[in-house]
Chain A
Amino acid sequence: MPDARPLSPAAATQFGVSRRWSAVLLAILVAAGITLAPLLLDTYMINILIRAFFVAIAAITVDIVWGYCGTLTFGQSAFFGIGVYALAIIFTEYGFGSWQILLALATAVIAAAAVATVTGWLSFYPGSTPLYASIVSLVVPIVLVQVLYSGGTFTGSSSGLVGFETFDLEFENWFRLAGLCLAAVAVVALIATRSDSGRVLKALRDNDERCTYLGINTSRYRIVVLVVTAIVAALAGFGYAAFGGVAAPENASFTFGTRLIIMVALGGRGTIIGAIVGALSIEVASAYLSGSLPYVWELIIGIALIAVILAFPDGLVGIVKRLMRGVQKKQRGPTTRLRPVAKAAANAEENAVAIEVRGLGKHFGSLSVLDGVQFAARRAELLSLVGPNGAGKTTLIRCLSDGRERSTGFVAIAGHSIDRLPPDRVVQFGLGRKFQAASVFETLTVAECLRVARTHRARPSLITTSTVLELPAAAISVVERSGLADRLGEEARNLSHGLKQALELAMVLSLEPEVLLLDEPTAGLTRAERQAFADILTALASRDRLCILLVEHDLDFVREISSRIIVLHQGKIALDGSVHDIVNSALVREIYTGQQAAASEAVS
């Protein structure tokens, strides 16, 4: 029973409970601290900290977009600025009152969400690069500031808006309000990033392509994250302007946007606490220093940024963590137990055609890499694709799994035409693709990698971290046979090459595919690992009735496991037949050994 993996359920619950209690206790302490702190601080400090709290909320949003999802964004300041100006413009135009507050809030949220949606649409699409997304994020605040400049008295142009009536609260209460808002955002962010959904964000950062081939629409995920963080940043800006009673173009500028990045980089990206530490320390320090030595202060910030990136990429929090780890070994959350998922009702036809290819061609200008490729493969077939280097094998795999790759022809996976669909849609028809070089999520644990692979079958929770991992039987068997079962809590980057290959296969099998595409799965494996792989593949074909298409160079391996072989030569199918026919054919000997004429003539 795979059920009975480490740690008894009772112990696991107890562990969870004590963690939860300590978290609640910490939250109460922080809340009490925020409530009492104004009694101890002087007015100047309180004033600085109130602003810093709102800025820290914006820094948290930068941390989520950059530290967790891997998009370096200069643009969160634009959303902050939208919040600032929504309040300032509406209070200036319509005065201060309850419906005006609601209107300003609604405007901030809607405008930020709309701008973020457009920005996301421009930044994230299949084929866009992180670098490009980063540059678009730089354009957004620049455009916004220009719009503000040209807005005349409505936006106050370069001098901004000032003198509107706003909330009348005591300094101390502003401090408590802002502090509690920051604490609340931090708690929500911590819960969300540590939840099962939060793992998906890290997976996006680690390996976008693998996510796509796990059926995850990565662009949509990124756009949703951007919209949510934009709304939060706009609300932070709203609070900032409500307290300060001023709106200035600097609040939306890319200079402020880069300042937010610097805060996160110094504090420690990818940790919510780091963003807060960075934001508060830079805000406080600059309040004291920027007045007395303005240029030198900017200079120090610049040098500090370079130094941190070069020497301490994980920032202050990273340094502290490293020091702490010397004392106590880091614990990676509760242990995960595996459980087989209930098998979906047996699919219609056991021997249905799983891959259908007609007249497939791929051309680069006048060069054609694939031409007139045509074949069909049924379920339970183990089809090997062989051919010399440059024959077009990997290109064929790519054309089967990504609808936008081929130049001409028709491809259907499990009866669905793949049309011009991106890989994440093709995967949902029942395709699983394993890459040539093991493609996993390096900073996620084995269990987390597998859970991300289940994303499109089992919607991950936004709040909790599940201790049970439901996997299809085929994936569990790979996990158990390869020895991964004992290393579920270990980060994937620490695994050996062979184990990474096994992990990727298990991830692909977690999709419950009907068609499995494998690109040289045995390259670089030891003899024993290779044999284990052969056993797994034949079992998948015969027992689970998968249609497997395998690119392989090792003819002995191919001969041992295949039920059929296709020889690809110069972009065309040269032979298609049983193992016996192919292995003994003159053409294969010619291609592989180069002894052409003599041998083939002798045979004929």
Chain B
Amino acid sequence: MLTVTLDAVTTAALLFIISSGLLIVFGVMKIINFAHAAFVTVGAYAALVGSQLGLPWVLVVPLAFATGALCGALTEATIVRRLYQRPLDAILATWGLGTVIGQLITLIFGREVQFVQAPITGTVDLFGIDYSAYRIVLIAAAVIVAVVFTMLLNGTRLGLSTRAVIMNEMLAQGLGVDSSRVRLITFAIGSGLAALSGALITPLSSVDPNMGVPWLVSAFMLVMVSGGSLLTLAVSCILLGGLQVIVSTFVNPILGGLTIAICAAIVLRIRPEGFARA
């Protein structure tokens, strides 16, 4: 039982890190970045390369973030920026980009599954059971992401501009906020977070060119059901992520993988604002 609880919390932590990047892009641009899964994969391969080069893990994670952020910035500047007026086309174009990135990775690294050594191995003794130490680290990582995020949004000038753009882009522009810069930076940070989460997943799962895809749909639905705030996203991740773990453990893993998508769709149908306060 305790193991299930810990599994639920660590899964929620991982889901939170993956979907937070999607959330910030959705908040500012009102689009869902379909290349998010590809950026997760990019981060995982960055971690693979970094660890093969013998870099310490504390450098591998920032390297992954930077690679993702760079890819994100390029994407925003070359593709997404031209499609502001056509949001559905924007998500389709990011989907196309996801395919392109996936194939490029396949061409460079091959399609075989690879493994990255976990930076922390072994188990810790927690409340009387042995539990994977690395998964506990993930909880810390999720908390750090949430704290840094909140500080960025509430404590910096960029955060203020970003919140202004989220609330009312026209007004923000009128007040002299350079909204295209905000969009560029947001997209870069969102993609960086995707890559960061990719790097954090690698010790838990294998690395392959399509590894990001299974996470994508869950992350989409979590963002939709959260209604756009970081706090409700955390709540959604804990509730639905926990449910996923319970279903996977006690019913069947395949159904578990679909739990988030199906539950979120039903929640949204009954309560269109999701978990957000009315």
Q: A135-B224, A309-B83, A310-B83 are in contact. Are A299 and B100 (CB under 8 A)?
A: yes
Q: Bound state CA distance, A269 and B32, in angstroms?
A: 21
Query: Is there a chain A Cβ closer than 8 Å to B113's Cβ?
Result: no
Query: Is there a chain B Cβ closer than 8 Å to A138's Cβ?
Result: yes
Residues of chain B within 8 A of A262, CB atoms compared: 96
Does B96 contact A135, Cβ atoms closer than 8 Å?
no
Of residues 122 to 155 in A, which have CB atoms within 8 Å of B's CB atoms?
A: 122, 125, 127-128, 130-132, 134-136, 138-139, 142-143, 146, 149-150
Of residues 264 to 319 in A, which have CB atoms within 8 Å of B's CB atoms?
A: 265, 295-296, 298-299, 301-303, 305-306, 309-310, 313
Q: Bound state CA distance, A301 and B99, in angstroms?
A: 9
12 residue pairs A–B, Cβ–Cβ below 8 Å: A70-B88, A122-B269, A127-B272, A143-B258, A146-B254, A146-B257, A146-B258, A298-B99, A302-B96, A302-B97, A306-B100, A313-B86
List 11 additional contacts besides A295-B107, A310-B93; criterion CB under 8 Å. A121-B269, A135-B32, A135-B217, A138-B217, A138-B220, A139-B221, A142-B217, A143-B261, A143-B262, A303-B96, A309-B92
Q: Bound state CA distance, A121 and B269, in angstroms?
A: 8
Determine how close the nearest CB of chain B comes to the CB of A16; give it in whole angstroms: 36
Residues of chain A within 8 A of B224, CB atoms compared: 132, 135
Residues of chain A within 8 A of B87, CB atoms compared: 130-131
Q: A142-B261, A146-B257, A258-B95 are in contact. Are A309 and B89 (CB under 8 A)?
A: yes
Residue of B nearest to A130 (CB): B88
Determine how close the nearest CB of chain A comes to the CB of B107; give it in whole angstroms: 5
* 0/1 string, B90-124, CB within 8 A of A gives 1: 01110111111011101100000000000000000
Q: A127-B272, A142-B217, A309-B83 are in contact. Are A303 and B100 (CB under 8 A)?
A: yes
Residues of chain A within 8 A of B89, CB atoms compared: 309, 313
Query: Is there a chain B Cβ closer than 8 Å to A261's Cβ?
Result: yes
Q: A150-B254, A309-B93 are in contact. Are A302 and B99 (CB under 8 A)?
A: yes
Does A135 contact B93, Cβ atoms closer than 8 Å?
no
* 0/1 string, B57-84, CB within 8 A of A gives 1: 0000000000000000000000100110
* 0/1 string, B9-30, CB within 8 A of A gives 1: 0000000000000000000001
Q: Bound state CA distance, A299 and B97, in angstroms?
A: 9
Q: A302-B100, A306-B79 are in contact. Are A142 and B258 (CB under 8 A)?
A: yes
Residue of A nearest to B86 (CB): A313
Determine how close the nearest CB of chain B comes to the CB of A281; give it in whole angstroms: 17
Q: Bound state CA distance, A560 and B269, in angstroms?
A: 48
* 0/1 string, A148-192, CB within 8 A of B gives 1: 011000000000000000000000000000000000000000000
Query: Is there a chain B Cβ closer than 8 Å to A413's Cβ?
Result: no
Query: Is there a chain A Cβ closer than 8 Å to B177's Cβ?
Result: no
Q: Bound state CA distance, A582 and B92, in angstroms?
A: 55
Interface residues of A (CB under 8 A from B): 70, 72, 121-122, 125, 127-128, 130-132, 134-136, 138-139, 142-143, 146, 149-150, 258, 261-262, 265, 295-296, 298-299, 301-303, 305-306, 309-310, 313
Q: Bound state CA distance, A130 and B89, in angstroms?
A: 12
Residues of chain B within 8 A of A134, CB atoms compared: 88, 91
Query: Is there a chain A Cβ closer than 8 Å to B136's Cβ?
Result: no
Query: Is there a chain A Cβ closer than 8 Å to B265's Cβ?
Result: yes
Q: A131-B32, A295-B106 are in contact. Are A125 and B269 (CB under 8 A)?
A: yes
Q: Given B99, B106, B265, B266, which contacts A305 in the complex, CB threshold below 8 Å?
A: B99
Does A125 contact B265, Cβ atoms closer than 8 Å?
no
Q: A72-B88, A122-B265, A306-B96 are in contact. Are A135 and B220 (CB under 8 A)?
A: yes
Q: Bound state CA distance, A138 and B89, in angstroms?
A: 15
* 0/1 string, B234-278, CB within 8 A of A gives 1: 000000000000000000101101100110011011001000000
Determine how close the nearest CB of chain A comes to the CB of B68; give it in whole angstroms: 19
Residues of chain B within 8 A of A131, CB atoms compared: 30-32, 87-88, 91
Q: A131-B31, A150-B254, A295-B107 are in contact. Are A72 and B91 (CB under 8 A)?
A: yes
Q: Given B92, B104, B107, which contacts A261 in the complex, CB threshold below 8 Å?
A: B92
Interface residues of B (CB under 8 A from A): 30-32, 79, 82-83, 86-89, 91-93, 95-100, 102-104, 106-107, 217, 220-221, 224, 252, 254-255, 257-258, 261-262, 265-266, 268-269, 272
Residues of chain B within 8 A of A302, CB atoms compared: 96-100, 103
Residues of chain A within 8 A of B266, CB atoms compared: 122
Residues of chain B within 8 A of A72, CB atoms compared: 88, 91-92
Residue of B nearest to A121 (CB): B269
A-B contacts, CB under 8 A, total: 101
Residue of A nearest to B90 (CB): A309
Q: Bound state CA distance, A300 and B252, in angstroms?
A: 38
Q: Bound state CA distance, A150 and B102, in angstroms?
A: 27
B interface secondary structure, majority: helix
Does B92 contact A305, Cβ atoms closer than 8 Å?
yes
Residue of B nearest to A308 (CB): B96
Determine how close the nearest CB of chain B comes to the CB of A127; give it in whole angstroms: 4
Which of B87, B93, B99 neighbours the largest number of chain A CB atoms within 10 Å of its CB?
B99
Q: Bound state CA distance, A303 and B92, in angstroms?
A: 12
Determine how close the nearest CB of chain A comes to the CB of B255; give it in whole angstroms: 8
Q: Bound state CA distance, A313 and B107, in angstroms?
A: 29
Q: Bound state CA distance, A298 and B105, in angstroms?
A: 12
Does A310 contact B82, Cβ atoms closer than 8 Å?
yes
Residues of chain A within 8 A of B79, CB atoms compared: 306, 310
Q: Bound state CA distance, A131 and B33, in angstroms?
A: 11
Q: A131-B91, A306-B79 are in contact. Are A299 and B261 (CB under 8 A)?
A: no
Which of B82, B86, B221, B265 neighbours the largest number of chain A CB atoms within 10 Å of its CB?
B265
Determine how close the nearest CB of chain A comes to the CB of B218; give it in whole angstroms: 10
The 7 closest A-B pairs by CB, nearest first: A302-B99, A305-B96, A302-B100, A299-B103, A306-B96, A127-B272, A139-B261
Determine how close the nearest CB of chain B comes to the CB of A351; give it in whole angstroms: 40
Residues of chain B within 8 A of A306, CB atoms compared: 79, 93, 96-97, 100
Does A139 contact B107, Cβ atoms closer than 8 Å?
no
Q: Bound state CA distance, A135 and B92, in angstroms?
A: 12
Residue of A nearest to B96 (CB): A305
Residues of chain B within 8 A of A139, CB atoms compared: 217, 221, 261-262, 265
Residues of chain B within 8 A of A128, CB atoms compared: 268, 272
Q: Bound state CA distance, A146 and B257, in angstroms?
A: 9
Q: Bound state CA distance, A139 and B261, in angstroms?
A: 7
Residue of A nearest to B253 (CB): A150
Residues of chain B within 8 A of A301, CB atoms compared: 99
Q: Bound state CA distance, A135 and B87, in angstroms?
A: 13
Q: Bound state CA distance, A138 and B98, in angstroms?
A: 15
Residues of chain B within 8 A of A298, CB atoms compared: 99, 102-103
Q: Bound state CA distance, A139 and B262, in angstroms?
A: 8
Residues of chain A within 8 A of B261, CB atoms compared: 139, 142-143
Q: Bound state CA distance, A241 and B87, in angstroms?
A: 36
Residues of chain A within 8 A of B96, CB atoms compared: 262, 302-303, 305-306, 309
Residues of chain A within 8 A of B86, CB atoms compared: 313
Q: Bound state CA distance, A572 and B88, in angstroms?
A: 41
Determine how close the nearest CB of chain B comes to the CB of A490; give it in whole angstroms: 23
Residues of chain A within 8 A of B82, CB atoms compared: 310
Q: Bound state CA distance, A138 and B92, in angstroms?
A: 12
Q: Bound state CA distance, A261 and B31, in angstroms?
A: 18
Determine how close the nearest CB of chain B comes to the CB of A275; give it in whole angstroms: 15
Residue of B nearest to A298 (CB): B103
Does A305 contact B272, Cβ atoms closer than 8 Å?
no
Q: Bound state CA distance, A122 and B270, in angstroms?
A: 9
Determine how close the nearest CB of chain B comes to the CB of A285; give it in whole angstroms: 16
Q: Bound state CA distance, A128 and B83, in angstroms?
A: 22
Does A295 contact B103, Cβ atoms closer than 8 Å?
yes
Residues of chain B within 8 A of A296, CB atoms compared: 103, 107
Determine how close the nearest CB of chain A comes to the CB of B47; give it in whole angstroms: 22
Residues of chain B within 8 A of A127, CB atoms compared: 272
Residue of B nearest to A138 (CB): B217
Determine how close the nearest CB of chain B comes to the CB of A585; give it in whole angstroms: 33
Residues of chain A within 8 A of B83, CB atoms compared: 309-310
